A = this chain, B = another copy of it.
Amino acid sequence: MVTISVIGCGRIGRMHLRNIAGCGGARLGPICDPYAADIEGLARDYGVAAVESAEAIFLDSSVDAILVASATETHAAYIEAGVKAGKAVFCEKPIDLDLERVDACAAAIAGLGGVVQLGFNRRFDPGHRAAFEALRGGEVGALHQVVITSRDPEMPPRSYVESAGGLLRDMTIHDFDLARFFLGEEPEEVFAVGNALIDPELGEELGDFDTAMILLRCADGKQCCINNSRTAVYGYDQRVELLGERGMLVSGNRRAHEMRRFGGAETERGEPYLYFFIERYGEAFVAELEAFVGCVRDGARPEVGFEDGRRALVLAEAAYRSIKEGRLVRVDEIS
């Protein structure tokens, strides 16, 4: 059994708590969240200790691994401390909003052989995964185009937006990782446009966007388009389309059930798509945890690690530069 402590018990941390509790090969260790008022009750519900500081977790020899779901600005420090303490680390994205800090973190853990997995859950979605496997299995031949549609159901609160680091570092970062996952090699060039169409004040006050299109291109000419929006009123819109020389693979959206309505003005009308990431990627969150537990148990390298977190951020930086300068940016201008 792998004992995992959770640091940061907000909404996503609590989901991880449940998943760890229900995971066959894992057991929950002490949990920590100085900002969660009900942390004691939460610990009681799961029959574990609540500790006041993460330090206690790093010192606890019964803990094999930590799951970092705290505020973004603490991620890098916890990764460093966890790796130095010999704990395997599962860290929610992003490593940090600042590439220099990410590089410093990389330097700090270099050579320590730590197991670090990044929370790019979408790679573990059953539909996206099936598309990936069909692609790698050669079903559609050489890949030519990737189209990723990624739209949130509604704008997050202004307070969230203010601290999230901008659309491309907060939301598109998942799509950058997904693009790398499917492309199977590093994109060489990035072009992006971003606008504040849903909330124009967002653009004026924060310089942020809520609507974006990003093109990526690899050295061999493979093309990828990412379509982002902060508001898809019909539900969390998460699609991947892979065009190959011999076919196409499409991973589509899910609904809570398959009931359809037919009436005088409609046929096959379905419910809105599953509301948001907790619902849509519920199975993916479980699967990424199981993969992590397997890596910790077997000492294996996680499929999606620190460097993947860094690479996604580099693409975000390249996209921001592209928006600023109105040109195709080479990724190696950034990294």
Contacts and interface: CB of A to CB of B under 8 A. Distances in A.
Contacts of A140: 263
Given A127-B259, A233-B264, A326-B327, A145 B213 contact: yes
Nearest to A260: B250
A130 interface: yes
Interface stretch (A5-13, A160-168, A191-199): A191-199
B193 A264 contact: no
Contacts of A217: 193, 195
A247 B262 contact: yes
B261 A139 contact: yes
Contact of A249 (B198, B250, B262): B262
A81 interface: no
Contact of A223 (B191, B195, B232): B195
- Copies per complex? 4
Contacts of A254: 257-258
B271 A223 contact: no
Contacts of A151: 243
A187 B237 CA distance: 26
A27 to B, nearest CB: 13
Contact size range, A: 35 or more
A266 B270 contact: yes
A33 to B, nearest CB: 21
A140 to B, nearest CB: 7
A195 B151 CA distance: 28
Contacts of A212: 223
Nearest to A195: B221
Given A197-B221, A237-B248, 16 more contacts: A125-B257, A130-B271, A131-B259, A134-B261, A142-B197, A147-B149, A191-B215, A195-B221, A195-B223, A212-B223, A232-B243, A250-B260, A251-B258, A255-B267, A326-B327, A327-B327
28 contacts: A126-B257, A127-B258, A131-B259, A144-B211, A147-B227, A195-B217, A195-B221, A195-B223, A197-B221, A211-B221, A212-B223, A231-B245, A232-B243, A233-B246, A246-B264, A249-B259, A252-B258, A252-B260, A253-B267, A254-B257, A254-B258, A255-B267, A265-B272, A266-B271, A267-B270, A268-B268, A269-B269, A327-B327
Interface of A: 22, 125-131, 134, 139-140, 142, 144-145, 147, 149, 151, 189, 191, 193, 195-198, 211-213, 215, 217, 220-223, 225, 227, 229, 231-235, 237, 243, 245-273, 326-328
